[in-house]
Structure 1
């Protein structure tokens, strides 16, 4: 028994020559179709280099366009030639110039010899597969497609819209149920001969000439009529991304391709020297008759597709950047946002790094500049403290800061006086831990020496801004971990609140706080709020403060350790 090979070539003729010689060395006659887009000089030189192989012949050339009948016509012409010139051939294997045999040719011949009546061709109805991409599944068989999708896109789209508008629908030839599958098949001589000599061939050809991507449906449909037995799978390994474009295999896919146990793979990068040198070398050893198992590597490709579509949290690339919702989490690691703590506690920025091993920044989104930890003018990742640079893309600023400091938790202060462009992004980021003391912004105003009229106006403005932020944090769409206290409630038990925040940071082992930073003097703060009320500004975010003096809740001193003898 012999296997014949039809090879469709349109580029990388030097690699195609290597593969042709490999097929012939394995005992397979080859009929080559070279796309007419290849120059006559290149074609003549290519044919001349293979003139020493009598088993190789060339079929009539035609110019092929993706998604059109030309590919089927080229395959038909080559198939008729191989059946006519090589009567000993019992199976015909369709391959492209970018296909690469992964196992010895004799292994494929032995595999097919043991299965003399089986046709290996993917063949399934459009209702049974999720392969189609672009909205044309059943419509590819009921509309007309006289224009090239790649080279006449406007005409293609316009003609499709016109047919939909007038509700045009083609009649499928009687007895034909359209099927789809991979273009790369291996058919028995009897099945292929029956397809090419079908008395209804003219009718079928005329119908499929106006089907979209007929190379994935012509033989797949007619094989269902003429085959004695079909195994609906291809012996060629081909993987596709989420856009329907084929994956290209490179040198670093060597072990992956070996693990698949497939006979042939496409598409191979023409410069993948290691792959060509490895798989085209002579192998005279005994090869076990193992079944092709592309499923062994399906998980890896599924993961690659997911990585391509979703990416990594907190890392953007130009392919996903414009598409909101496909970038995953905004940031790459957990971080903490403190709202009002620096207003309530003296030296909070110095205390927090002592209480837990984190990097504590000031107001990263202050209007004057970025207040990095330690007052540095720049930070990891070449981030500048320029407010103008930050405000050009505030989300990307925070994303870069968290990405470049993975492994160290970042904390920063935030308040209603800061730039508010990132409010929704913070609320929707599952990596954010947001702790808010509402109304704490009034404490610096209380201690300021500004005229009271200005203080009242500023207090009203800050309250409106913070209230909008709190409303966002209360929506059901929030993914951040949010804790919020009114100022009056917080100062009653600051130790418990700070302990909860530190515990949520996930520091291991958990530590009980033995000190809290000193709280600012709030004596007379209640009267200050009452004065704002008297001036027609109602400060409602602070909670209920008494008019009498407000003092910080006492913090119990830790007991001194003692030794029991």
Structure 2
């Protein structure tokens, strides 16, 4: 028993000649179809390259176009020639000129000998599997498609829309159930002969001539009428991306192709010298024979498709800039935002850096410029502190800070004095940890030596900004981890919230905080708030402060009740 190969060629004819010679010298007859659009000199070079092999012949040439009937007609003519000239052939294998044999022909022959009545062709109904890419599955069988989708796109779209508008539907020939699948099949002589000699073949051919992409449905449908045993899979390894375009294999895919255990692979890059040299070597393979299993490498292709469509989390590229709220992660790593802490505590940045071992910046979005840690003017990735450049695209500035320093936790200060254009970005970012002490912006005003009327106007402005920010942080769309304390509640017991924040930043650290950072002197702060009220400004975010010199609540306050049994 033997297998014969049909090769559909239109480019890289020198590589097609190499593969055809490999198969022929291994005892398998080959029929080659060359697209009639190939120039005469190129065709002549191909015929001369294999002229010394009697088992290689050339079928009548057709002018083939993508997704047109000509591809089916060419394969029909080549199959008829194969069956007529080579009576010893029991299976016919359809391949392309860009295919490459991955395993010795002897292994394929033995594999088919063990399955003499099995047809290997992917054949699924459109109702069962919706894997088609392009928007036409059932309609490709019920509408007419006389125009080429590749070269006559406008006519194709208009004629399709017209048929939909008038409600036109073609009658499917009686007894046929449309099926789809890969055009690269391996059929038994009995099944292929029955398809080619069927008395109803003219009817079927006329019908499929106006089906869209008939090379993916003609044999896939008719094989259901005659085959006794169908395995709905192809012995050829072919992978497609999310747009329906075939993946191309290069030299660095050598081990990947070996792992698949498939007999043939497409589409091979014509300049992949290492692949052709490795798989077309004359010595027989010493590797153990295995069942073809392209699923072994499906995981890698799935990852490649995901990387191609979604990119890496938090990475924004010019060639793949995502639409708003459709990013693969707004940022690339967790980070922490502290609002009000640097106003309430002295040298809070230094204390936090020692406590968590992270990179702690000042106000990255401060009005005077980005306050990078250590007073640096240039940060990772060439980011500079200039406020004009930063505020041109503050969203990109933040995402670049996180991306350029991934692997190291970033912390920075924030407040109502800073640029507010990134509030929604941070609030909807699952990587963000936002801790807010409301009203702490008033501490610098309390310590400022300014005209009180000026202080009152600034306090009113900052309070309005923080109120608007709190509306965002409390909205239903927030995905960040947000913690909000009033200033009065925080200074009443600062250790508990600080310990919670530290534990979240460094979850593996079991050390408990023994001391809090040094707090600003708030003696007289309650009176300062009362003066703001007296001047007509109502402070609403600081909490309940006494009007005396001590900002802490009275010590006569009763503790929490406990139930003792």
Q: TM-score range by the shorter chain?
A: over 0.9
Matched-pair contact (CA < 8 Å) for 1:260–1:294:
yes
Structure-1 residue corresponding to 2:120: 120
Q: Secondary structure at the match of 2:492?
A: coil
Q: Secondary structure at the match of 1:426?
A: helix
Structure-1 residue corresponding to 2:514: 514
Distance 1:418 1:36, change over 3 A: farther
Task: Confirm whether residue 376 of structure 1 aligns to residue 363 of structure 2.
Answer: no
Structure-1 residue corresponding to 2:48: 48
Task: Confirm whether residue 334 of structure 1 aligns to residue 334 of structure 2.
Answer: yes
Count of residues paired in the alignment? 554
Q: Spell out, residue by residue over 1:191-217, the C-alpha distance to the aligned partner (whole angstroms, 9 max, x if none).
A: 112112222222222221222211111
Distance 1:395 1:152, change over 3 A: farther
Matched-pair contact (CA < 8 Å) for 1:313–1:330:
yes
Structure-1 residue corresponding to 2:303: 303
Structure-2 residue corresponding to 1:527: 527
Matched-pair contact (CA < 8 Å) for 1:491–1:553:
no
Q: Spell out, residue by residue over 1:408-458, the C-alpha distance to the aligned partner (whole angstroms, 9 max, x if none).
A: 211111112211222121122222111111111122222223333333333
Structure-2 residue corresponding to 1:253: 253
Pairwise CA distance, 1:306: 2.4
Q: Secondary structure at the match of 1:296?
A: helix
Distance 1:175 1:325, change over 3 A: farther
Pairwise CA distance, 1:54: 1.8
Matched-pair contact (CA < 8 Å) for 1:12–1:97:
yes
2-structure distance, mates of 1:529, 1:451: 15
Matched-pair contact (CA < 8 Å) for 2:237–2:262:
yes
Q: Spell out, residue by residue over 1:392-412, the C-alpha distance to the aligned partner (whole angstroms, 9 max, x if none).
A: 332322222222222221111
What value does the CA root-mean-square deviation take over the aligned residues?
Answer: 2.0
Q: Spell out, residue by residue over 1:450-488, the C-alpha distance to the aligned partner (whole angstroms, 9 max, x if none).
A: 333333333222222222222222223322121111111
Structure-2 residue corresponding to 1:81: 81
Q: Secondary structure at the match of 1:62?
A: coil
Matched-pair contact (CA < 8 Å) for 1:332–1:406:
yes
Q: Secondary structure at the match of 2:365?
A: coil
Q: Secondary structure at the match of 2:215?
A: helix
Structure-1 residue corresponding to 2:557: none
Matched-pair contact (CA < 8 Å) for 1:16–1:97:
yes
Structure-2 residue corresponding to 1:291: 291
Structure-1 residue corresponding to 2:490: 490
Q: Secondary structure at the match of 1:176?
A: coil
2-structure distance, mates of 1:412, 1:136: 52
Matched-pair contact (CA < 8 Å) for 2:72–2:218:
yes
Pairwise CA distance, 1:39: 2.2
Q: Spell out, residue by residue over 1:7-62, the C-alpha distance to the aligned partner (whole angstroms, 9 max, x if none).
A: 11121122111111111111111111122332222222222222222211222222
1-structure distance, mates of 2:280, 2:247: 21
Structure-1 residue corresponding to 2:90: 90
1-structure distance, mates of 2:282, 2:324: 51
1-structure distance, mates of 2:94, 2:467: 68
Structure-2 residue corresponding to 1:446: 446
Structure-1 residue corresponding to 2:140: 140
Structure-2 residue corresponding to 1:465: 465
Q: Secondary structure at the match of 1:78?
A: helix
Structure-2 residue corresponding to 1:100: 100
Structure-1 residue corresponding to 2:349: 349
Task: Confirm whether residue 179 of structure 1 aligns to residue 175 of structure 2.
Answer: no
Distance 1:36 1:552, change over 3 A: farther
1-structure distance, mates of 2:528, 2:73: 88
2-structure distance, mates of 1:456, 1:168: 75
Matched-pair contact (CA < 8 Å) for 2:524–2:551:
no
TM-score, with length taken from structure 1? 0.93
Unaligned runs of 5+ in 1: 555-565
Distance 1:287 1:142, change over 3 A: same
Matched-pair contact (CA < 8 Å) for 1:107–1:287:
no
Structure-2 residue corresponding to 1:210: 210
2-structure distance, mates of 1:264, 1:323: 40
2-structure distance, mates of 1:360, 1:504: 15
Unaligned runs of 5+ in 2: 555-565
2-structure distance, mates of 1:537, 1:134: 63
Structure-2 residue corresponding to 1:110: 110
Structure-2 residue corresponding to 1:560: none
2-structure distance, mates of 1:114, 1:222: 24
Matched-pair contact (CA < 8 Å) for 2:130–2:137:
no
Pairwise CA distance, 1:225: 0.8
Q: Spell out, residue by residue over 1:220-252, the C-alpha distance to the aligned partner (whole angstroms, 9 max, x if none).
A: 001001212211111111122222222222222
Pairwise CA distance, 1:5: 0.7
